[in-house]
Structure 1
C-alpha cells in the first residue's frame, strides 16, 4: 500500500531535522509515496528558503513521488472539508488523500492541524519520530 506525504514530511527528507532519520526508516518498507502536486511547489519553496544548496536533491526526491494533480474535483472537495481550522493548502492535501483513502497505509505529516484534520476525517496518520 501507499503512503501520502504532505509538505511537512517531504521537507524532512531533504533538510535534516530531528525526525528525518525516523521518517526515512519508517518509509523504507513502503514502495509507493504519494503526494499532491502541490508538494512540488511547497517543497521547493521550503528548501530554497532553508537549504538552497539542496534544491537539486529536492528535485531528485520528487521524482520518487507519485504526484496527484490538483484538479477541479480536488478543489471542490477541499472547499467542503471540515473542520474550519484546516487551512486552504492543508485542505487540498486532505482532499487528495481522501480520494486515495482505500489505497493508503497512512498520511505522513508533522503538522498539528493536518494530524487533527486527518483523524477527524477517519484517515490513518503517522508522524515517525
Structure 2
C-alpha cells in the first residue's frame, strides 16, 4: 500500500494477507478500468495483473502492453512484455550500468542496467520473470 517498511518490521500472516488483498483489489480495479472493451483470456488477465503488481498502475497506464491491447493487438502486447527488462538508478551501481539520462550540462542523472545481459547477477530474475510471462502470454494466442 506504499507504507514505509523498515528492516525488522514484523506482521502476522493473516495481517499480511489482508494488506496484500486490499492492495491488489485497488490495483485490479484500476487495471480493469484501464482496458475498456478489451476481452482478455483469464491467463492474460492474470499475467498482466502480475505485471501491474510488480511495476505499478502508473507504469501500466503508460505501457506499450496496454496501448497494444486497446488497439486489439494481442501478440504485440505479449511481445511488449520483453521491453521491461531494465533497472534504473540515480547512480552508477557497478559494471554494466550505462547512462540513460543527462542534465542540461551533459552530466549523467540516471543510469540503467539491462537485466537480459547474459550471466548477470544484478537482476537476472527480472528478465527470467518477463520471459516466463511472455511464454505464457504467447501460449494463449
Is the structural similarity TM-score above 0.5?
no
TM-score range, shorter chain: under 0.3
Output the TM-score relative to the length of structure 2: 0.24
Output the TM-score relative to the length of structure 1: 0.26
Which protein is richer in strand relative to its size?
1
Instruction: Tell me which of the two structures has the higher relative contact order, counting C-alpha pairs closer than 8 angstroms and 6 or more residues apart.
Output: 1
Q: Who wins on radius of gyration, i.e. which is larger? A: 2
